[in-house]
Amino acid sequence: MRTTLSEVLPLRTPFSLHVFPSYYCNFKCTYCLHNLSAEALRERRFERQLMDFGMYEKAIDGLKEFPDKLKAIIFAGHGEPLVHPQIREMVKFADGVADRTEIVTNGSLLSMGMSEGLIAAGLGVLRVSIQAVTDEGYERITGRKVRVADLLECLRYFYKTRGNTRVHVKIIDMGLSNDDIERFYDLFGPIADEVSIEYVIPFINEIPLTNDKGKTKHGGPESESKICSMPFYMIALDPNGDLVPCCSSVVPYCYGNVKKESIKQMWDSPERNRFLLLQLVDLSQNRVCGACSVPRYGLQEGDYLDEDRGRLIKVYGEE
C-alpha cells in the first residue's frame, strides 16, 4: 500500500534513489530522447556517458549515513542500464542498503550470463519494458531489428531461474491494436510475476505523443496539481555524479555532486530545502518544472500535496 506522502513529510530518509548508470542505449525509440538529433541533445546538455564505478561505490556508501534504509534503489534513467559493463557489480554492491533493488530495462541484453549475474547479485525486481509484440513493430518503434522469439527465450530463462527476483513485464499502449494487447498477455503472462499496459505521458517536448486519431496519449485522465511531489521523496544520481530532484530529461536543479558531498549532506542541504519550498510556493518559477507534465499526468494516489500546501510551506520555510 502506497504511503500518503503528506502525512510523513519532511522525510529523514528518501524513499528511493534512482541510479542512472548509463546514458547510452541500444534502441532509438520513437518517443524517447535518444531519437532526437545531435543538435537537440546538445541543447539539452545531454551527454552519452557511463557512471564511474568508484564514484558509484562512494555514493552508495554515503546512503548508510541516513537514519533509515531506503525503500528502493532503482537502476533506470535516460539510457539502458544493462549497457554498463559493471551493472551486476553495481546491483551486488547495493544489496542490503535498501529494502529492494530494481532494474528497468528493455530486456534485449538479457543473456544467460547477465541473467545469472543479476539474480546472484540479489536483484529484487526486474522491470522489462516491451516495445512491441512483433518483429516489425520492434523495428518501427526502436529503429533496431529485434526478434521477439529471442527476447521471449531470454525472459523465459530469467523467469525460470529467477530465485527471489520478481519479474514485471510492461508495455506502453502507443500503437497497440486489440490483437496486440491479447498477444502481449498470451506471450508474456506465463513468464512474468506481473504484466501491465502503461501509458506514456508528454515528457519530451520535441516529440509529440499522439495516437492514430491525433489525440495526445497520457497516463489516464488529467489530474492537475500545483505541486510536484516527486522531489519530496526521491532523488536521482546522474552518470557524472550530479544529484538531481527527479527523472526529468532536462535537469531542473542540481543539489551537488557525490564526488564532493555525500547524498545525505545534499538531502539535508539548504539548497534542496529552497528547491522544495519553490515547488510549494510556485513551481512555475523554475523553467523546467513549469513546463513539466508530471504534475498534470504523472502523480500517483497518495502523492498529492495541494491540500497540505499551507502547512508544508510553514514546515519547509522553517527548515
Using one digit for the tens of pLDDT, what is the confidence trace for 55-88?
A: 999 999 999 999 999 999 999 988 999 999 999 9
What residues form DSSP beta bridges with 75? 19, 103
Cell numbers describing residue 209: 505523443
Quick check: 218 pLDDT over 50? no
Q: Count each helix (H run) and each strand (E run) in the chain, helices first.
A: 12, 9
How are beta strands 242-244 and 256-257 bridged, if at all? antiparallel
Cell numbers describing residue 24: 547510452
Cell numbers describing residue 199: 501509458
Is the whole-model pTM more than 0.75?
yes
Which of these, 92, 99, 91, 94, lies nearest to 70 by C-alpha position? 99
Q: What is the mean pLDDT of residues 224-231?
A: 90
Q: How many CB atoms lie within 10 A of CB 86?
A: 15
The 10s digit of each residue's pLDDT in 269-290 is: 999 999 999 999 999 999 999 8
The 10s digit of each residue's pLDDT in 135-161 is: 999 998 899 999 999 999 999 999 999
Cell numbers describing residue 1: 500500500
How far apart (Å, rounded) are the C-alpha atoms in residues 178 and 176?
Answer: 7
Quick check: 305 pLDDT over 70? yes
Cell numbers describing residue 73: 534503489
Q: What is the mean pLDDT of residues 91-114?
A: 96
Quick check: 211 pLDDT over 50? no
Which of these, 96, 76, 69, 95, lies nearest to 15 by C-alpha position? 69
Q: How many CB atoms lie within 10 A of CB 285?
A: 10
How far apart (Å, rounded) are the C-alpha atoms in residues 58 and 261?
Answer: 10
**CA–CA distances in Å: residue 168 to residues 105, 127, 165, 242, 271:** 11, 5, 10, 29, 36
What residues form DSSP beta bridges with 16? 72, 234
How are beta strands 242-244 and 166-172 bridged, if at all? unpaired
Whether cis (ω within 30° of 0) applies to the bond prior to 81 is no
Amino acid at 66: F
Query: Which stretches of the chain are assigned E, i.e. beta strand?
Result: 16-19, 70-75, 98-105, 125-130, 166-172, 194-198, 234-237, 242-244, 256-257
Q: Is the dihedral of CA 197, 143, 75, 112 positive or negative?
A: positive
Check residues 217 and 133 and name the one with the higher pLDDT. 133
Q: What is the predicted pLDDT for the residue at 204?
A: 61
Q: What is the predicted pLDDT for the residue at 217?
A: 47
The mean of the pLDDT values for the chain is 89
What residues form DSSP beta bridges with 256? 243
Quick check: 222 pLDDT over 70? no
Q: How many CB atoms lie within 10 A of CB 266?
A: 21
With beta carbons less than 8 A apart as the criterion, state whether 73 and 17 touch.
yes
Quick check: 308 pLDDT over 90? yes
Which of these, 240, 241, 256, 239, lies nearest to 81 by C-alpha position? 239
Radius of gyration of the chain (CA): 20
